[in-house]
Structure 1
């Protein structure tokens, strides 16, 4: 049976984890697909060869989006652009598309429109976005849904293609979907069953252009929600996004809080995770969901993640016992506030995933006495608020990376009594030295915490490699 894409000329912007599946799916649906990609490295050439073997046209390198027979830089005949989420809206290709009246979708938009294609079940989406905590929350949610006996998967920005999920052989009951601000920007018709914005802090402003534009793209996740818009009581900006959203009639605002929940909220009471949103007579009744100790690890920001996941699951009708069982079964990914070892009475914790100040703030709040290893690429961030808030918890600080001076200056201003070791190096070998210096500063009962508040690319391929280097250096301490 012909699809709406049969014979359609579609340009896919970008290769990678989203572009390649998009090109394959569109080609399989009968579209004439041209892929354009700025880079031409070995990985791109390998992906291009794979697609070209299927009959897809691929253009690599600068200027790949243009051809001499096209108007305004669009490949000739383009009727639709499907873009990788990382391509900035300011790309000339998109200006040309707007001028020519050509729509631009992201791979998430394409996946949304293909739900139910070919007679498959159109599984509802429970969507998660926010500056920090998205992946952990989506994984917790999937674990809870699985504990309820539902066929589910954690997909989206988590690295599992949504296109594969909606067009593959497995028919899911419901999907736990992580969405970045980039993906939401290019997904105008997405309408989730229920969704949450976990938190909002300045991030990716070079891509979005302003905090207002970044928040607006995050807020798109609430548009058209059917059952619940879940927000963070401690972050008023998330509630403001709910108020601004155009939702289906009957959709409710549901808050989560680390304090005692009010009606239509989930929260914490005497070591218990409690639901006062999805119960009969929520003004008088509450439902115990789990114990705080069921959350791994039970750091404050991770308890908040668990409450957000529980709220989405409860919005879908999951019983309380499945929330408890799913949280108990959940194991967090590496480099997310992961306890590496105890050496001489000092705990060593790897939170290399704390790549911005908001994430580092949550990590620092989880411990009482800290020797902090921080630094890397600041991405335009400032550190005064972070340091001022954590100053009383800091036993010492060890700074690494290209922009460590920004953190050192903030420490001088807001925590002048805290001893600081400034390692003037940006090679990978700096990590073992940083761990040794942290050991020297730490006393029994302290936590040596890698929470860099910065990106890793000045020293390491990614935050995973940075965390691995930290863990290896810690293991050498105890050898």
Structure 2
């Protein structure tokens, strides 16, 4: 086989390593031709791959398959040329599935959603580890799926008992549709956390985006897990072609219905994976076992627990796994309390849906928002959050879009804007927020926008916010 790998970044490098390790002839293509690209190319050439930089449009002559990194748009000329030539295009997840060992392959527990994916998949991995399973969080979360599939222990056997897959809409788009009896990828259990318009510039429409998210349910064997607070997720379960016997399992913050998981008082309860779901319920954990115990994080925990229970994990392991878990940085992270005002970094809230979840967690907020809107509107977000808003501080290239929504739906909320874009901009933001806040308020960085107009990524934005808060704290001490 002669394979063309689209992209030379983290996923592309994983694809080249995996294919070359199997003796496959590989050519990698990338439109970039800068110093970083040439450095990546040298590393791949050392593996025996051919690398072509600066031309990502031309289909190399004679290739049998194109394997793409997730971010490449489906309208890219390379894929159009492949279709015209009758050459199949696979995603990285598809290739990983096809290269799974014939015996002893780890089952896949997959999840997706507009927001909360990484937190939930890491919760799931923590629960699986607490059950004594060799598990890994892979996919969009950082570790490429192919690396995990090909990993072996010291005896040469598959290194993992089960894989927890975070899958983006980009990755799901490239999956071959599953049908009964086909060899297409399928999950042992799959979860869809939520659906809100995102990446529309890539998918083309909200319907196409949701459709790609729904692909995660195709062929699911044990359970399709959906959000009872988001009817679109349930509809995608109803529309899915699944393995006979697969069940729909709803998760939500209310009392769980028959066959679902939910919350009763301060307990996380399972009425899905018990012997007699009409008359039994299993106590999975206390709300206090989930850190932080914000409503949307409790929902994340329920989704992770449902996937783990579908794999046969005990309630005790769910509880211990949730207790052991701590979220990654920049996800509703408490930075400091200054003059009786809490400062929270949720820089990972890069769209309106994520920001709405953060805003709902605090009763009185000075909201720090703005950045690259990616074509989104904020009317629904502002209308839903206005009762929680003490004031708003806006920054970034598309701050006017949020300001306009505030003028329409929360005209009485004070708004301050920072037009600076240099390294001192966040200090100005934090100082303005401190001036607007009152004791007991929360200053919340939940930008609802991407960060690349001012920062290299959302982590750098969160770090700048935290550093500015600590400087403020020093001034106030």
TM-score by length of structure 2 reads: 0.96
Structure 1 residue 45 and structure 2 residue 16: aligned? no
- The match for 1:105 is 90
Structure 1 residue 77 and structure 2 residue 65: aligned? no
Choose from 445, 448, 454 the match for 1:450: 445
- Please list, as runs of the form range in 1=range in 2, the aligned pairs for 1:75-474 lying within 5 A after superposition: 75-116=60-101, 121-170=104-153, 171-188=159-176, 189-474=184-469
Mapped partners of 1:64, 1:433: distance in 2: 42
Deviation at 1:321, TM superposition (A): 0.6
Mapped partners of 2:455, 2:46: distance in 1: 34
Please state whether the residue corresponding to 1:438 is helix, strand or coil: helix
Cα shift readout 1:85-124 (whole Å, capped 9, x = no counterpart): 111000111111111111100111111111116x6x3000
Unaligned runs of 5+ in 1: 1-7, 67-73
Cα shift readout 1:176-219 (whole Å, capped 9, x = no counterpart): 11000100111212200000010000001111111111111111
Structure 1 residue 57 and structure 2 residue 42: aligned? no
- The match for 2:473 is 478
Mapped partners of 1:323, 1:58: distance in 2: 45
Mapped partners of 1:283, 1:237: distance in 2: 26
Mapped partners of 1:453, 1:65: distance in 2: 33
- The match for 1:19 is 12
Higher mean alpha-carbon deviation, 352-361 vs 411-420, is at 411-420
Mapped partners of 1:93, 1:408: distance in 2: 40
Cα shift readout 1:325-358 (whole Å, capped 9, x = no counterpart): 0000001000000011111111000000000000
Mapped partners of 1:254, 1:236: distance in 2: 13
Please state whether the residue corresponding to 1:367 is helix, strand or coil: coil
Mapped partners of 1:330, 1:422: distance in 2: 37
Please state whether the residue corresponding to 1:304 is helix, strand or coil: helix
Mapped partners of 2:262, 2:201: distance in 1: 35
Please state whether the residue corresponding to 2:321 is helix, strand or coil: helix
Count the aligned residue pairs.
Answer: 462
Mapped partners of 1:14, 1:87: distance in 2: 8
Higher mean alpha-carbon deviation, 366-375 vs 426-435, is at 426-435
Please state whether the residue corresponding to 1:478 is helix, strand or coil: helix
Please state whether the residue corresponding to 2:224 is helix, strand or coil: strand
Choose from 15, 32, 36 the match for 2:29: 36
Higher mean alpha-carbon deviation, 257-266 vs 167-176, is at 167-176
Mapped partners of 2:82, 2:56: distance in 1: 15
Residues 56, 78 of structure 2: 8 Å contact kept: no
Deviation at 1:32, TM superposition (A): 1.4
- The match for 2:181 is none
Cα shift readout 1:200-241 (whole Å, capped 9, x = no counterpart): 000011111111111111111000000000000000000011
Cα shift readout 1:120-165 (whole Å, capped 9, x = no counterpart): x300000010000000000000000000011101111001111110
Unaligned runs of 5+ in 2: 154-158, 177-183
Deviation at 1:65, TM superposition (A): 4.0
Please state whether the residue corresponding to 1:153 is helix, strand or coil: strand
Mapped partners of 1:38, 1:307: distance in 2: 42
Mapped partners of 1:174, 1:144: distance in 2: 12
Mapped partners of 2:312, 2:47: distance in 1: 43
Mapped partners of 2:382, 2:35: distance in 1: 42
Please state whether the residue corresponding to 1:127 is helix, strand or coil: strand
Cα shift readout 1:364-412 (whole Å, capped 9, x = no counterpart): 0000000000000000010111011100110001000011011111111
Please state whether the residue corresponding to 2:42 is helix, strand or coil: helix
Please state whether the residue corresponding to 2:17 is helix, strand or coil: helix
Please state whether the residue corresponding to 1:280 is helix, strand or coil: coil
Please state whether the residue corresponding to 2:317 is helix, strand or coil: helix
